[in-house]
């Protein structure tokens, strides 16, 4: 759903410093096929919504089981979060195991680890069996802290969790790269890869098996029933099927599952740099602030370093360009920068207990399955969701069903604490978001500047493009009525409540909303 027309601008700007426009390394280095929109009524066994890692892997697996499958995307394939990830394939998901031991139990923590390992093994097997040319390389993953404060204690406790659970991590006090750390946990046997080259293979195999793919087909709602029905935006026709698999990142349908109160969107920022000094291997993530993530990638014989971090809740920061600048400073000091060919940002969803939600959308709706809330670990969790949903549809047992069930009971304290803070944000955005802004006017806006302004007596969102043309939109999110905020680096309107995003002219860039922002006459 994002716009690739900025390719040339990005390449030119890269010869100097930070690229002017957001463009992902993965998308820039993968040629993907195009598919038509759905043009008529369709009856199919399985309808998969969303062509990211969840949807494509599920479509592939279900087609392999002999199912008749159609895959739909509101925009282009692999242009959601999967196209903008950092693509570490690891079961080291930050500091998760101590958290799970404390807030759930030991048995769940070890099951979580085994699930991530199973997904990683599946991906590795796919690559090996099919000789997929996707820069797959085994790496050691490191989670580290630079300072002595609270996070150091948390890291020590995470190490203790590794020991207790039998996770083969090792405590180290230095890293292969020149970052001074107080401590780190090294987990060998993890991997990095090129996610789009891997998923392109699965997508093409899916097509060979007779799978249907439709792009630019926005599913607006799903009507539950013995045979669910997908309603398509602006069309009279629809899709009837036996089972729906939602791989749409934010679930395509809520069905009273209250996902809007349970999922939180977090954005973060990424650079692909060519460094002055060779990168010595490994994949890194900090446990303390500021958050940083590092890994390398090879394309056309050249080494790139993918540097990420600086996460924050979607829609709550306007001056987002500074996050790229911070990453640039960090990479420059660490490795030296020859150039920065690509920069991009993306968001992922978090559940209240930090575990993915995989399974029936609600316990009484066995014909609609969802995979969501991967907390920035969707390479393994998205793959796992596809495996689990395939098992559930095929009537097979899966040992992780209860752990990741969207209907699971979450630890009470955690649930209350997080839900209160999340819903306070939603309520605040619904109520005060409408009042709380600077009374700027259209005339105050420079070219290539956007802001909330006071326009014809109303709070509106405005962006003045580089040619001086003003684009004005109603800032009420069409999903649930929260107020969107300006995102300077991506030139988009982002919603802090559920992560909906819109272009400066109001078109939907990212769900859950399906309707554009209302344009206002300038
Ligand atoms: C900056 C960043 C770095 C990350 N790094 C890592 C990492 O190193 N390792 C890791 O494991 N994970 C990482 N993740 C997480 C991982 O990238 C995501 O969890 C994963 O890509 C999500 O995949 P998905 O298939 O669920 O969603 P997506 O890739 O977003 O795909 C969803 C698709 O659904 C479509 N869609 C949405 N609504 C509709 C609708 N109504 N109708 C039709 N189609 C619809 C969208 O257009 C989109 O193409 C990172 C995430 C971020 C944000």
CATH number at residue 479: 2.102.10.10
**Residue 381 sits in the same domain as residue 496:** no
Single residue among 378, 410, 442 that ends a domain in this structure? 410
Name which of 39-43, 181-185, 443-447 the model is least confident about: 443-447
CA 470 to centroid of ligand 1, rounded, Å: 32
Tell me, using a 6 A CB cutoff, whether residue 512 lines ligand 1. Answer: no
Residue nearest to atom 4 of ligand 1 (CA): 85
Q: From CA 221, how far away is CA 231, in angstroms rounded?
A: 5
Element (H, E) at 431: helix 412-431
For ligand 1, mutation pick of 235, 246, 379, 380 (most atoms within 8 Å of CB): 379
Widest CA span in the chain: 64
| CA of 371, closest atom in ligand 1 | 26
Give the Å distance between the CA of 384 and the centre of ligand 1. 14
What CA–CA distance (Å, rounded) separates 517 from 505?
8
Same domain membership, residue 366 and residue 217: yes
What is the atom index within ligand 1 of the atom nearest the CA of 380? 11
Same domain, 233 and 380: yes
The reported pTM is 0.89
Ligand 1 contact, 510 CB (< 6 A): no
* Domain identity same for 242 and 360: yes
Counting ligand 1 atoms within 8 A of each CB, the residue from 378, 404, 507, 510 with the most, and so the one to mutate, is 378
**Do 375 and 440 reside in the same domain of the chain?**
no
Residue 8 located in a structural domain: no
Q: How confident is residue 418, by pLDDT bands cut at 50, 70 and 90?
A: low
Q: For residue 15, name the pLDDT band (cuts at 50, 70, 90).
A: very low
Task: Please check whether residue 473 is in contact with residue 452, taking contact to mean a CB–CB distance below 8 angstroms.
Answer: no
**What's the total number of domains in the chain?**
2
432 CA to middle of ligand 1, Å? 30
In a domain, 135, yes or no: no
Domain membership of residue 489 (yes or no) is yes
Asked if residue 488 and residue 442 are part of one domain, the reply reads yes
Q: Is the CB of 232 under 6 A from ligand 1?
A: no
Q: pLDDT above 70 covers what percent of the chain?
A: 91
Point out the ligand 1 atom lying closest to the alpha carbon of residue 267. 53
Nearest residue by C-alpha to atom 17 in ligand 1: 85
Number of Cβ atoms within 10 Å of the Cβ of 485: 23
> Could you tell me if residue 78 is inside a domain?
yes
Does 455 reside within a domain?
Answer: yes
**What is the mean pLDDT of the segment spanning 326-342?**
96
514 in contact with ligand 1, CB cutoff 6 A: yes
pLDDT of residue 414: 54
Calculate how far, in angstroms, residue 179's C-alpha sits from the geometric centre of ligand 1.
Answer: 30
pLDDT for position 456: 77
Structural domain including 79 reads 41-85+196-262+354-410
pLDDT in tens, 439-456: 678 888 999 999 988 877
Phi, psi of 342 (to 5 degrees): -140, 145
Are both 384 and 497 inside the same structural domain? no
First-residue to last-residue Cα distance in the chain: 26
Q: Give the DSSP per-residue string, 162-227.
A: HHHHT---EEES--SSS---SEEEEEEEEEE--HHHHHHHHHHHHHHTT-EEE-S--EEEEE-SSS
| 230 occurs within a structural domain | yes
* Residue 80 pLDDT greater than 70, yes or no: yes
> Residue 346 CA: which ligand 1 atom is closest?
53
Whether 284 is covered by a domain: the verdict is no
At 304-324, the pLDDT tens digits run 999 999 878 887 777 788 899
Structure tokens at 334: 């660490």
Residues 516 and 446 in one domain: yes
- pLDDT bin (cut points 50, 70, 90) of residue 433 is low
Whether residues 437 and 500 fall in one domain: yes
H or E segment to which residue 240 belongs: strand 238-246
Q: Which of 154, 220, 225 is nearest to 183 (CA)?
A: 154
**Distance from residue 358's CA to the centre of ligand 1 (Å):** 14
**Domain end among 410, 425, 454:** 410
Structure tokens at 425: 């944000």
pLDDT for 437 beyond 70: no
**Ligand 1 atom closest to 83 (CA):** 29
Selection from 185-194, 425-434, 450-459, 472-481 with the highest mean pLDDT: 185-194
Distance from the alpha carbon of residue 372 to the mean position of ligand 1, in angstroms: 9
Cα 135 to Cα 87: distance, rounded to the nearest angstrom? 11
Model confidence pLDDT, tens digit, residues 345-368:
999 999 999 999 999 999 999 999
Q: Does the beta carbon of 108 sit less than 6 angstroms from any atom of ligand 1?
A: no
Mark whether 438 and 472 lie in a shared domain: yes
Same domain for 437 and 516, yes or no, is yes
329 is a domain residue: no
Mean pLDDT to the nearest integer, 417-439: 56
Structure confidence by residue, pLDDT tens digits, 495-513: 999 999 999 999 999 989 9
Is residue 393 domain-shared with residue 454, that is, in the same domain?
no
pLDDT reported for residue 429: 57
Look at residues 374, 309, 343 and name the one whose alpha carbon lies nearest to residue 93.
Answer: 374
Q: Is 348 in the pocket of ligand 1 (CB under 6 A)?
A: yes
Task: Using the mean position of ligand 1's atoms as its centre, give its distance from the Cα of residue 250 in Å.
Answer: 9
Return the best residue to mutate from 82, 244, 349, 357 for the ligand 1 pocket (most ligand atoms within 8 A of CB).
82
């Amino acid at each position: 759903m994002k716009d690739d027309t900025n390719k040339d601008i990005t390449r030119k700007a890269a010869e100097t410093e930070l690229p002017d426009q957001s463009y992902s390394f993965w998308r820039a280095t993968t040629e993907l096929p195009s598919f038509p929109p759905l043009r008529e009524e369709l009856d199919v066994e399985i309808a998969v919504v969303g062509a990211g890692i969840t949807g494509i892997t599920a479509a592939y697996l279900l087609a392999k089981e002999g199912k008749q499958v159609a895959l739909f995307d509101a925009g282009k394939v692999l242009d959601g979060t999967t196209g903008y990830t950092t693509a570490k394939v690891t079961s080291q998901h930050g500091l998760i195991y101590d958290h799970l031991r404390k807030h759930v139990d030991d048995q769940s923590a070890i099951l979580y680890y085994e699930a991530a390992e199973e997904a990683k093994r599946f991906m590795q097997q796919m690559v090996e069996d099919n000789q997929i040319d996707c820069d797959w390389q085994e790496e050691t993953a490191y989670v580290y802290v630079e300072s002595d404060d609270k996070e150091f204690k948390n890291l020590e406790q995470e190490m203790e969790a590794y020991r207790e659970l039998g996770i083969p991590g090792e405590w180290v006090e230095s890293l292969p790269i020149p970052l001074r750390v107080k401590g780190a946990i090294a987990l060998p046997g993890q991997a990095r890869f090129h996610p789009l080259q891997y998923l392109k293979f699965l997508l093409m195999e899916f097509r060979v098996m007779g799978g249907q793919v439709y792009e630019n087909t926005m599913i607006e709602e799903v009507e539950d029933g013995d045979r669910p029905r997908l309603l398509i935006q602006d069309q009279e026709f629809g899709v009837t099927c036996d089972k729906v698999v939602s791989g749409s990142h934010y679930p395509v349908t809520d069905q009273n599952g209250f996902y809007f109160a349970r999922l939180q969107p977090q954005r973060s920022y990424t650079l692909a740099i060519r460094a002055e000094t060779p990168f010595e291997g490994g994949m890194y993530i900090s446990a303390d602030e500021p958050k940083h993530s590092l890994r390398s990638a090879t394309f056309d014989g050249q080494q790139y370093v993918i540097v990420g971090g600086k996460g924050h809740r979607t829609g709550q920061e306007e001056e987002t360009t500074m996050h790229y600048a911070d990453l640039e400073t960090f990479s420059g000091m660490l490795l030296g920068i020859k150039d920065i060919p690509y920069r991009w940002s993306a968001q992922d969803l978090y559940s209240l207990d930090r575990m993915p939600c995989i399974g029936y959308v609600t316990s009484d709706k066995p014909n609609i399955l969802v995979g969501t809330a991967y907390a920035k670990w969707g390479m393994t969790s998205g793959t796992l969701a596809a495996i689990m949903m395939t098992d559930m549809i095929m009537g097979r047992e899966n040992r992780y069903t209860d752990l990741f069930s969207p209907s699971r009971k979450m630890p009470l304290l955690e649930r209350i604490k997080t839900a209160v803070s999340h819903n306070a944000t939603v309520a605040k955005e619904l109520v005060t978001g409408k009042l709380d802004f600077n009374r700027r006017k259209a005339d105050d806006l420079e070219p290539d500047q956007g802001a909330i302004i006071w326009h014809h007596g109303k709070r509106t969102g405005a962006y003045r493009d580089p040619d001086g043309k003003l684009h004005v939109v109603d800032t009420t999110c069409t999903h649930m009525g929260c107020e969107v905020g300006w995102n300077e680096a991506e030139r988009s309107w982002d919603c802090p409540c559920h992560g909906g995003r819109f272009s400066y002219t109001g078109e939907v860039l990212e769900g859950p909303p399906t309707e554009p922002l209302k344009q206002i006459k300038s």
